[in-house]
Amino acid sequence: MSLNPVLPAFAARRLTKRFGRSTALREIDIELEAGRCHVLFGRNGAGKSTLLLIAATLLRPSSGEIFFGGDRYEDLGDEVRRRIGLVSHQSFLYPDLTVLENLEFYARLYGSSADASEALFFADLDLRRHSPVRSLSRGMLQRLSVARALLHRPKLLLLDEPYTGLDAVSSERLSTRLSDAKGETSILLTTHDVERGVSIADRISILEGGRIAFDATGATPSEVKRLLLEIREITG
Amino acid sequence: MRSFPVVLAILRKDVRTEVRTRQMVSSMFVFAVLVLVVFNFTLFLDEIRARELGPGILWVAFVFAATLGLNRSFAIEGENRCLSGLMLAPAPRSAIYFGKLLSNILFMLAMEIFVLPLFVVFFNLSLWELLTPSELATFFLVLVLGTVGYAAVGTILAGVASNTTMREVLLPVLLFPVSVPIVIGAAESTRLLFDENLDTTPWVWIRLLVVFAVVFLIVSWLTFEYVIEE
């Protein structure tokens, strides 16, 4: 009897990214299991955002390979982007368009028949659908960014510090939304919020100086905090 | 075919934003009118001199105003890094170029249609009396070709400039030297149409406009992906 191994949703092999003389990622190997949530911790400049931007095809790696479901990104071409959603530090939303118009625009961009109104209902922005994005609070903007990234039902969701600027209620709501999305969607998330990160993670990694310094499943928040402190003390 | 819906979505989004904010066409229009006013009050042209110099002045007004609009075209993609959002679309990135190009052509033509009657008034050149119907059609062809050529090179250079900190300054510095053949071609073919004493046909210049527009479109199509990457 042969077992059919489940292919990782996303994988990087010996991934390196250089910006001029500085190296953001150094021969990283990482795998994200399908339907799981992998949380990346690490201080600013550790390479977390660079990894996400490469996974989203917004940056080209200097060397190494990246895979989606076992296929190389190059082989999938532009179509790979249909399967990816990205929540970045910036919202990618047009300030002069309304909340609904922004989502309708992104649905058209992806050729998706997704119902923008339904997405707004889940983002709890139904009552603000005709408000210009310029008028939204930071929390509302972040919820709309998540709705935008999930609108075309991506198989891989990339979130770069999504809890930044959110109050406790909004953060809790976001965690619930991400937990609901898990299974159908694989999630790669970076955060400095150890408690929340660990609470939704199936696997965690700590990045330091462009390398993976620690990688484990089932770590507790206190263990992650201790490891982050130890790594900081060792590397200075 | 994957590009077409993305091109249309960007065009539709840009038109909607422009209808709401009225920033691009109105600022281009005001700037073009100011250029015409300055030339009108400094040169004091009679009708014969106006026929000679008017086409050059008209195209100077058009290209200066268009540069203002081209800068704005990518500035709206810079807010909240919306350009990265466009780059996530599952289509070749040249689709972003063609979407922005179409909206730039549309806004430039809109500005030109509003500016043209004022040019006629300021320089006392009645196009209906000056040109035969076929010459008038040729003039509008020159207007479209000049606009397409200038927008073709301007859109990609606006993309280049948008990734820099000196974007407002850099675009004219890059754009004016590269677009010289288009501006000369457009101004010369317009002058040959306006000046009834000249027997030379404008078609040599019109062919030049076509060649440059096609070359810039192909080069932009092939290179835009690399231009917008950081």
Among the partner-chain residues B9, B79, B88, the one whose CB lies closest to the CB of A108 is B9
Query: How many structural domains comprise chain B?
Result: 1
Q: What is the pLDDT of residue B198?
A: 66
| Contact state of A96 with B76 under an 8 Å Cβ cutoff | yes
Q: What is the pLDDT of residue B180?
A: 95
The C-alpha angle A46, A48, A53, rounded to 5 degrees, equals 135
Q: What is the pLDDT of residue B6?
A: 96
Q: From CA B65, how far away is CA B190, in angstroms rounded?
A: 18
Q: What is the pLDDT of residue B230?
A: 65
| Contact state of B17 with A94 under an 8 Å Cβ cutoff | yes
Do the beta carbons of residue A146 and residue A87 sit within 8 Å?
yes
Do the beta carbons of residue B126 and residue B139 sit within 8 Å?
no
Among the partner-chain residues A59, A92, A106, the one whose CB lies closest to the CB of B81 is A92
Paired tokens of B144 = 């479209």
Residues of A in contact with B13 (CB under 8 A): 94, 97, 101, 105
| Contact state of B81 with A80 under an 8 Å Cβ cutoff | no
Q: Helices B47-78 and B133-162, interaxial angle, to 10°? A: 30
Q: What whole-number percentage of chain A has pLDDT above 70? A: 97
Q: In a 10 Å sphere around its CB, with 0-12 CB exposed, 13-18 middle and 19+ buried, how is residue B164 labelled?
A: exposed
Paired tokens of B213 = 């527009």
Among the partner-chain residues A57, A78, A93, the one whose CB lies closest to the CB of B2 is A78
Q: From CA A115, how far away is CA A129, in angstroms rounded?
A: 13
Domains of chain A, each with CATH number or no CATH? 10-235 (3.40.50.300)
pLDDT digits (tens, 9 = 90+) for B193-221: 988 776 778 899 999 999 999 999 999 99
Instruction: Give the domain range for residue B59.
Output: 3-228
Mean pLDDT of chain A: 91
pLDDT digits (tens, 9 = 90+) for B1-55: 579 999 999 999 999 999 999 999 999 999 999 999 999 989 888 888 888 899 9
Decide if pLDDT at A121 tops 90.
no
Q: Which residues of chain B are at the A interface, by a Cβ-Cβ cutoff of 8 Å?
A: 2, 5-6, 8-9, 12-13, 16-17, 20-21, 76, 79-82, 84-92, 229-230
Q: Which helix (H) or strand (E) holds B62?
A: helix B47-78
Pairing label, strands A37-41, A203-208:
parallel
Mean pLDDT of chain B: 92
Q: From CA A200, how far away is CA A177, in angstroms rounded?
A: 11
Q: What is the pLDDT of residue A2?
A: 45
Query: What is the gyration radius of the CA atoms in chain B, in angstroms?
Result: 18
Q: What is the pLDDT of residue A185?
A: 94
pLDDT digits (tens, 9 = 90+) for B77-87: 999 999 999 99
Q: What is the pLDDT of residue B43?
A: 87
Strands (E), chain B: none
Name the band, by pLDDT with cuts 50, 70 and 90, for residue A233: confident
Q: What are phi and psi of B18, to 5 degrees?
A: -70, -40
- Residues whose CB is less than 8 angstroms from the CB of residue A168 and which lie 6 or more positions away in sequence, other chains included: none
Residues of B in contact with A113 (CB under 8 A): none
pLDDT digits (tens, 9 = 90+) for A85-107: 999 999 999 999 999 999 999 99
Residues of A in contact with B21 (CB under 8 A): 96
Helix (H, G, I), strand (E, B) or coil at B44: coil
Q: What is the pLDDT of residue B154?
A: 96
Decide if pLDDT at A215 tops 80.
yes
Do the beta carbons of residue B198 and residue B75 sit within 8 Å?
no
List the single range of B119-123, B129-133, B178-182 with lowest mean pLDDT: B129-133
ipTM of model: 0.91
pLDDT digits (tens, 9 = 90+) for A153-201: 999 999 999 998 788 888 888 898 899 888 899 999 999 999 999 999 9
Query: What is the gyration radius of the CA atoms in chain A, in angstroms?
Result: 18
